[in-house]
């Protein structure tokens, strides 16, 4: 392994260590640099070879969280292409992500309304990317005009994130009920958007 690979590996250990420290009682803003260094098995001074400070690490965690979620949902859309309900597969994939990566999702939830303006902006940016990708998908697969597709996408993303906040600490029975409910709610939004798009088209004639 060369020096660059070792540096990248250490950087990833720092990121993974920070995620490990997050739980239902501890947010990123309560984690110290020394705790992260200890979890990553490096000296505190070595931290600065990879990040300027703890805030830069936090922003990196937000970026990593958003990217991981978007990549997973892209994979879900590929599964949809081979057959299956768009809403069912998307919700099931999202819930699976939360159950498998609770600390990753906790970071997005907490920092979305946290005290740090830079963190709030970073999470908002990640949610924006998520919303835009879904809007593009709706336009491509259903043919909904972009202005309506974006409103539909925004409503769906907010609803799913809210359901995720409920599911993160729920047991399996509760999670199943949450998933079932949010699927029905997403279908309401989908049908409403389609009806509204038709209504707008009629109005233009």
Tell me the DSSP string of 128-157.
Answer: HHHHHHHHHHHHHHH---HHHHHHHHHHHH
Is residue 182 predicted with pLDDT exceeding 90?
Answer: yes
Cα(101)–Cα(95) distance, rounded to whole angstroms? 10
Q: Above pLDDT 90, what percent of the chain? A: 57
Q: What is the DSSP string of 64-131?
A: HHHHHHHHHHHHHHHHHHTSS-HHHHHHHHHHHHHHH-HHHHHHHHHHHSSS-HHHHHHHHHHHHHHH
Report which of 54, 52, 19, 20 is spatially closest to residue 34, judged by C-alpha positions. 54
In the chain, CATH 1.10.357.10 covers: 58-204
Is residue 125 predicted with pLDDT exceeding 70?
Answer: yes
Q: What is the DSSP string of 14-60?
A: HHHHHHHH--SS--GGG--HHHHHHHHTS-HHHHTTT-SSHHHHHHH
Q: Which residues, 6+ apart, have CB-to-CB distance to 81 below 8 Å?
A: none
Cα(21)–Cα(84) distance, rounded to whole angstroms? 37
Fold observed for domain 58-204:
Tetracycline Repressor; domain 2 (1.10.357)
User: 168: which DSSP letter?
Assistant: T
169: three-class secondary structure by DSSP: coil
pLDDT of residue 203: 53
Fold observed for domain 1-51:
Arc Repressor Mutant, subunit A (1.10.10)
Is residue 77 predicted with pLDDT exceeding 80?
Answer: yes
Cα(183)–Cα(160) distance, rounded to whole angstroms? 9
Is residue 5 predicted with pLDDT exceeding 90?
Answer: no
Side-chain-side CA neighbours of 195 within 13 Å: the count stands at 6
Q: Phi first, then psi: give them for residue 171, nearest 5 degrees.
A: -80, 180
Least confident of 26-30, 79-83, 97-101: 79-83
pLDDT digits (tens, 9 = 90+) for 31-63: 999 999 999 999 999 999 999 999 999 999 999
Contact present, 84 and 92 (Cβ < 8 Å): no
Contact present, 114 and 120 (Cβ < 8 Å): yes
pLDDT digits (tens, 9 = 90+) for 109-124: 888 887 788 889 999 9
């Amino acid at each position: 392994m060369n020096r660059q690979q070792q540096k990248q590996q250490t950087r990833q250990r720092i990121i993974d260590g920070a995620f490990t420290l997050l739980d239902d009682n501890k947010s990123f803003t309560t984690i110290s640099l020394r705790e992260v260094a200890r979890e990553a098995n490096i000296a505190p001074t070595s931290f600065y070879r990879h990040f300027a400070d703890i805030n830069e690490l936090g922003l990196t965690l937000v970026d990593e969280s958003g990217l991981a979620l978007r990549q997973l949902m892209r994979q879900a859309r590929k599964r949809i292409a081979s057959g299956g309900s768009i809403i069912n597969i998307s919700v099931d994939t999202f819930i699976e992500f939360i159950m498998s990566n609770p600390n990753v999702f906790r970071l997005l939830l907490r920092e979305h309304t946290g005290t740090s303006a830079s963190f709030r902006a970073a999470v908002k940016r990640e949610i924006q990317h998520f919303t835009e990708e879904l809007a593009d998908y709706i336009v491509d697969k259903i043919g909904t005009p972009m202005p309506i597709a974006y409103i539909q996408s925004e409503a769906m993303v907010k609803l799913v994130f809210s359901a995720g906040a409920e599911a993160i600490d729920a047991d399996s029975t509760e999670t199943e009920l949450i998933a079932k409910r949010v699927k029905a709610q997403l279908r309401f939004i989908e049908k409403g958007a389609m009806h509204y798009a038709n209504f707008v088209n009629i109005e233009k004639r």
